[in-house]
Amino acid sequence: MNRPAQAFQRIRSFVSSQVDVSRSLAQALQDRSINPYPYLKPIFEKAAGVREPPISPTPHSVVYTRGSMRLLRYAPTRRRYRTPILFVYSLINRWYILDFLPGRSLIEYLTHQGYDVYAIDWGFAGQDEQSLSWSELLGGHIRSAVRWTQRVSGSDDVTLYGYCMGGTMALAYTALYPEGVSNLVVQATPVDFTKGGIYSLWTQPQHFDVDSLVDAYGNVPTYVLESGFFMAGPVQRITKWLDVCRQIDDPAYVTTFLALERWGSDAVPFPGEVYRQYMRDCYQQNLFCQNRMEVGGERVDLGSIQCPVLNIIAEHDNIAPPAMSEPLPGLVGTKDCETMHFPVGHIGLSASSKAPVKVWPRVAGWMGPRSQPMEGGE
């Protein structure tokens, strides 16, 4: 095919894609769907000639279950460090953004560095999780995950690695149950909940009755959670689908885009009682950074955290803005607390093209000297 014909074909495909996208968006609006991903995915897969990649592609096994929760192990080919890493992710989306795509996976990267890696998959909250409390979440689920990580890895200590709300939970856990946590890494983690921008505004008591929501639904439905993120940037959440038409001849770009959209659309119900206390104590009263939040009758005192802490901040984060995370060094008790800033967004810390080059090597460089090496390796 000559060059004019190729150019004409690209123009025709672009115009056709724009029309198909517009029709699918119109259908999504007609169906009152918050997320257009299910409607648009087939169009872009066909146009770009790509298929949906597998979820969490790095080889792993399930080593423990508790209710809907699973503890996953990602074993390294050659283990260099006895100290394992245990990821604690948020309760809103799924853990596999940490194991995104081959070459774009934080978990894959760390296993290649010789770490024995574990991750909590919270699963799909059902009726049994409606009454789950912060005390059960921390002292039951996360504590069991820590113990099973120690048992399977053969290590007395773990590096606890929390992401987003998972970082808030990891901080609270370490404050209450410090034994066995040798290092604490928190990534894009809310600490001062008065600094959350529009989310802090929306969740104030005069705007948001959390008790009525939880009392009505039990677990918070996914469409309620999705609607909040959608309304924080409604135009961009639609126009990005039109923008990807311009990259339709780049299969790698389209695959990455669709994989990210799949993850973003894969929200899960939020356990009701955990959500109630999270909104009340953190967003509405900001008790967490004042060391006044109570879990199971015990005060969560961040000053009791004595292990080394790494505070990772995304400079362009609009979900957990830098101001939410920056007070942490002044709140923890340890003097070994380092903050790293990176010029990416909230998800960019784990899924951007910059992360494997700019972010993860520095994080691994911090953990390495603080992790016990294997004698001779495995």
Name the phi and psi angles at 86, rounded to 5. -115, 115
Question: Residue 287 half-sphere exposure, CB side, CA atoms within 13 Å?
Answer: 15
Residue from 307, 61, 39 nearest 175 by CA? 307
Name the phi and psi angles at 26, rounded to 5. -65, -40
Instruction: Name the catalytic one among 60, 141, 192, 346.
Output: 346
Let me know if 346 is a catalytic residue.
yes
Instruction: Name the catalytic one among 99, 164, 192, 281.
Output: 164
Residue 159 structure tokens: 């590096």
**Alpha carbon distances (Å) from 57 to 72, 75, 102, 170, 213:** 13, 13, 7, 25, 36
Let me know if 164 is a catalytic residue.
yes
Name the phi and psi angles at 36, rounded to 5. -80, 0
Instruction: Name the catalytic one among 99, 121, 157, 317.
Output: 317
Let me know if 249 is a catalytic residue.
no
Answer yes or no: are the C-beta atoms of 240 and 266 closer than 8 Å. no
**Bridging pattern class, strands 69-74 and 117-121:** antiparallel
Q: Tokens 């920056």 identify what position? A: 326
By annotation, the residues acting in catalysis are 164, 317, 346
